[in-house]
Amino acid sequence: MRPTRRTFCAGLAAVPFLRPGAASAAPLVPLTARHATVQLAPEGYPATPVWSYDGTLPGPLLRAAQGSRLSRRLVNALEVPTSVHWHGIRIDNAMDGVSGLTQAAVPPGGSFDYAFDLPDAGTYWYHAHTNSMEQVARGLYGALIVDEADPPEVDRDEVLVLDDVLLDPETGRIAEGFDNPMMRSHAGRLGNLLCVNGRFDLSLAARRHDRLRLRLVNAANARIFVLRLEGMSGWTVALDGMPLAQPVPASGDIVLAPAQRVDLIVDVTAEAGAPAALVHRAGDGSWRALVEVAVSARGTSAARSAPPPLPPNPRMTVPGADSAEPREMRMQGGAMRGMESARHQGQLLDFAALIARGQFWSLAGQAGRGDDPFARYERGETARIRLVNDTAFAHAMHLHGMHFRTLLPDGTQGAMRDTVLMAPDEVTEIAFVANNPGKWLMHCHMLGHAASGMTSWIEVA
Ligand SMILES: [Cu+2]
């Protein structure tokens, strides 16, 4: 019997389409940048229109195993161009998401396929990197967790994304004025509503003696959070995703600058019903709950001993830092100090001319990303940069593509991080192995500072 068209088609469908490369041709899971409305402010205040990933704030929690590959199709359903930066991932340069440097911005209605390896376990995040000053403030951010093959034993693993939102209390809308010179030339855009995971009143439930892994991400534009544990005691086990060699007791202030992350392993010590919280230091110096922990009846386990360190990630050493020649990146500008002059778009301009162009800051004499990189490195070379904060403000300096270590005065190396907070007048030396080829941004993560001069870049051949 001759096969009918119908049976022919059915037969064809039964043939497995397992040609090489077929898997990569499958459509990627979308990550859609779009409008949404969320209730950020307390009940009684209006809801807040935001720019979101997939309609939520924060965007969806992305989670994958160390050593696996993550892929998402960014779909731009906004009216403005955008792109996604995968913050802290030691990533292929073409996937870094910096529009104008590693890719063209994705136009409204357009899409871009991100697919990259995840070499390191830890707490990372993703956020817009096109006009990020405005786009991150409007809600384009989310957490990205890369799981160890052998994670530490805890009762709960909680991802806490901190934000500091500037709302108009009358309308509930995100306040405009992203180019406000006062904010840009001072400490940056500070908000009037602190949120964790999009809630001003986030509360966790736990039992006494529960062990929690708290993964804190600071997604705020400019707020430096100063945090403490109340009714809990614990250890810092990772910074900016990278495990510490040994857990460090988190008994004092936990300082989290914009873009930084900290992984804590904490034990609930409060009695049932007694106060337990992650508290933050408010502007008036008082300590207020940021995340409350409702402690219920005693858990089954008793108090435990200190946790072992997390398994290290690959390539965490920086050999040759001592003998590497430091290059100085002087940070200048801002209110109270200003600067003599800086180069901007190929011209040497005095401070008044820079201000007229919305440039309040400079890095190594350059305001904004120039045509030439701050430094070029051979692949595999150990790079050393001496950051000199010549301004009256704190800055959170972030390097894309590679983690660095700070070089401490006693000759040892600090924790491996991707963002370092610098106080006014502070000098910090950082060193890293320039083993990731490409063009990598280096900028202040107070996003108003980055948008008004504090953006530089390096190139690894
Ligand atoms: Cu800054």
412-461 pLDDT, tens per residue? 999 999 999 999 999 999 999 999 999 999 999 999 999 999 999 999 99
* Band of residue 25 on the pLDDT scale cut at 50, 70, 90: low
Give distance in angstroms: CA of 452 to centre of ligand 1: 9
DSSP three-state, residue 66: coil
Has residue 80 got a pLDDT over 60? yes
Give distance in angstroms: CA of 222 to centre of ligand 1: 8
Q: Which residues contact residue 283 at a Cβ distance below 8 angstroms, ignoring those fewer than 6 apart?
A: none
Cα separation, 5 vs 307, in Å, equals: 65
Give distance in angstroms: CA of 389 to centre of ligand 1: 10
Has residue 280 got a pLDDT over 90? yes
Has residue 7 got a pLDDT over 90? no
Give distance in angstroms: CA of 188 to centre of ligand 1: 8
Residue 367 Cα distances to 100, 163, 239, 258, 449, angstroms:
16, 27, 29, 21, 10
* Band of residue 299 on the pLDDT scale cut at 50, 70, 90: low
Give distance in angstroms: CA of 332 to centre of ligand 1: 10
Give distance in angstroms: CA of 239 to centre of ligand 1: 20
Give distance in angstroms: CA of 11 to centre of ligand 1: 63
Give distance in angstroms: CA of 445 to centre of ligand 1: 6
Phi, psi of 406 (to 5 degrees): -80, 150
Give distance in angstroms: CA of 273 to centre of ligand 1: 41
Has residue 14 got a pLDDT over 60? no
Residue 103 has what pLDDT? Answer: 98
Q: Name the percent of the chain lying above pLDDT 70.
A: 94
H or E element, residue 421: strand 419-422
* Mean pLDDT in residue range 269-296: 96
Cα separation, 86 vs 145, in Å, equals: 11
Has residue 46 got a pLDDT over 90? yes
Give distance in angstroms: CA of 168 to centre of ligand 1: 24
Give distance in angstroms: CA of 250 to centre of ligand 1: 26
* Mean pLDDT in residue range 365-373: 97
Residue 99 has what pLDDT? Answer: 98
Give distance in angstroms: CA of 192 to centre of ligand 1: 20
The DSSP code sequence of 246-271 is EEEE--S-EEE-TT-EEEEEEEE-SP
Give distance in angstroms: CA of 232 to centre of ligand 1: 32
Give distance in angstroms: CA of 449 to centre of ligand 1: 5
Residue 26 has what pLDDT? Answer: 72
* Percentages (nearest 5) of helix, strand, coil residues in the chain: 10, 45, 45
Q: Tell me the β-bridge partners of 165.
A: 193
Q: Which of 9-18, 28-37, 290-299 has the highest mean pLDDT?
A: 28-37
Q: How many CB atoms lie within 10 A of CB 1?
A: 4
Give distance in angstroms: CA of 390 to centre of ligand 1: 11
Choice among 52-56, 131-135, 270-274, 371-375 with the minimum mean pLDDT: 270-274
Residue 304 has what pLDDT? Answer: 82
Residue 443 has what pLDDT? Answer: 98
Whole-prediction pTM = 0.94
Give distance in angstroms: CA of 163 to centre of ligand 1: 17
Has residue 5 got a pLDDT over 50? no
Q: Which two tokens stand for residue 110?
A: 């357009």
Radius of gyration of the CA atoms of the chain, in A: 23
Spell out the alpha helix ranges (H) of 341-404. 351-356
Q: Which residues contact residue 222 at a Cβ distance below 8 angstroms, ignoring those fewer than 6 apart?
A: 164, 183, 187, 188, 189, 190, 258, 446, 447, 448, 449
Give distance in angstroms: CA of 128 to centre of ligand 1: 18
Give distance in angstroms: CA of 454 to centre of ligand 1: 7
Across the chain, mean pLDDT equals 94
Give distance in angstroms: CA of 209 to centre of ligand 1: 40
Has residue 406 got a pLDDT over 60? yes
Give distance in angstroms: CA of 456 to centre of ligand 1: 12
